[in-house]
Amino acid sequence: MISGSLVAIVTPFKNGAVDEGKLVELVERQIREGTRGIVPCGTTGESATLSREEHEKVIRITVETVNGRVPVLAGTGSNSTDEALLMTKYAKEIGADASLLITPYYNKPTQDGLFKHFELIAKKVDIPIVLYNVPGRTGVNLLPETAAYLSQIDNIIAIKEASGSLDQVSQIIGSSDLMVISGDDSLTLPMLALGAKGVISVVANIVPGRLAAMLSAWENGNIERARAIHLELFDLMKGMFIETNPIPVKEALKLMGLLNGEFRLPLCRMTEANLEKLKSLLGKYNLLTECSGKCGGVS
């Protein structure tokens, strides 16, 4: 169910509210370009500042727009187990294909606390669950040993691993039957070599077709083509993190004419110096003219 290139889709805003029409447009673009799964309400979707009502709205619109064409992995995590449980129940009820559950952030639970958090939700909601480990944002690392214990729960099927450690990826794959999904664009190809099955991507917001092509090439055994696309996109992948995600990717979509670039505080517009760097980077990939229909570069 979960493989290849999936997008951690941005949440578009207009005058402070979720822009429903634009969200539909962005989802349709992803499917049209070959993205194999849509992940709303993740870190890239600014989930931390969405109200409960908005969170549910974004998931619902995504599910309705996708209409079964590709899987929808709804971000339903929270640093409150009760809140994460309620959102996961909603995702199940509305028809999401799976739940993406981030490790609780800020409160820094122990490994035992992490296990109990995920175990409770998995046992109360019969939906496939993808764990999400991104210690650089949450302040806590879901250790391979804990992931292995969690893999024994039937509906915990995968982990989005964004620790930045290939050693940790190796340990998870070697000690459990969890499907590993890359959470770091620039490490996706090395992780595929270790046995990962796909990526939940930031850069796919910008170049969905090229990233999908890289994953498809790997799956088809065309390693050299996959490697070539990885090297082609590497600078763009890294450029999406010159400031806090999703600031660069939203600014890039604005420069491409696909988004208005509106953020929700405490996230804000990129500094002028970094904006110039981003413009230069997008120019290198011939992406600045996509909105005019004249772009002959990557899509």
Q: What DSSP string runs through 41-64? A: SSTTTTGGG--HHHHHHHHHHHHH
- What per-residue confidence (pLDDT) applies to 2? 87
DSSP state of 271: P
Please check whether residue 91 lies inside any domain of the structure: yes
End-to-end CA gap in the chain: 25
Out of 90, 105, 132, 285, pick the active-site residue: 132
pLDDT at 296 over 90: no
| Full residue range of the structural domain in which residue 203 is found | 4-223
Please check whether residue 267 lies inside any domain of the structure: no
> Mean pLDDT across the stretch 179-193?
98
Under 8 Å CB-to-CB from 291, ≥6 apart: which residues?
256, 257, 258
Please check whether residue 250 lies inside any domain of the structure: no
Note if 108 is an active site residue. no
Please check whether residue 269 lies inside any domain of the structure: no
- What per-residue confidence (pLDDT) applies to 299? 43
> Mean pLDDT across the stretch 28-48?
97
The model's pTM is 0.93
Please check whether residue 31 lies inside any domain of the structure: yes
Q: Is the dihedral of CA 115, 116, 121, 122 positive or negative?
A: positive
- What per-residue confidence (pLDDT) applies to 289? 60
At 53, the amino acid letter reads E
Please check whether residue 20 lies inside any domain of the structure: yes
Note if 160 is an active site residue. yes
pLDDT at 241 over 70: yes
Angstrom distance (rounded) from CA 181 to CA 197:
6
Question: Could you give the number of structural domains in the chain?
Answer: 1
> Considering the chain, what is the average pLDDT of its residues?
95
What CATH number is associated with residue 160? 3.20.20.70
Nearest Cα to 188, choosing from 38, 57, 4, 46?
4
Give one word for 114, left, alpha or beta, with left for phi > 0 and alpha for psi -120 to 50.
Answer: alpha
Please check whether residue 180 lies inside any domain of the structure: yes
Q: Give the helix/strand (H/E) hosting 181.
A: strand 179-182
> Mean pLDDT across the stretch 50-67?
97
pLDDT at 219 over 70: yes
Q: DSSP characters for 137-156?
A: HHS----HHHHHHHTTSTTE
- What per-residue confidence (pLDDT) applies to 290? 43
pLDDT at 232 over 50: yes
Q: Band the pLDDT of 291: cuts 50, 70, 90.
A: very low
Angstrom distance (rounded) from CA 71 to CA 38:
7
Q: Give the helix/strand (H/E) hosting 39.
A: strand 37-39
Please check whether residue 24 lies inside any domain of the structure: yes
Please state, for a pLDDT cut of 90, what percent of the chain lies above it.
Answer: 95
Q: Band the pLDDT of 251: cuts 50, 70, 90.
A: very high
Out of 160, 250, 254, 285, pick the active-site residue: 160
Q: Which tens digit of pLDDT belongs to each residue from 188-210?
A: 999 999 999 999 999 999 999 99
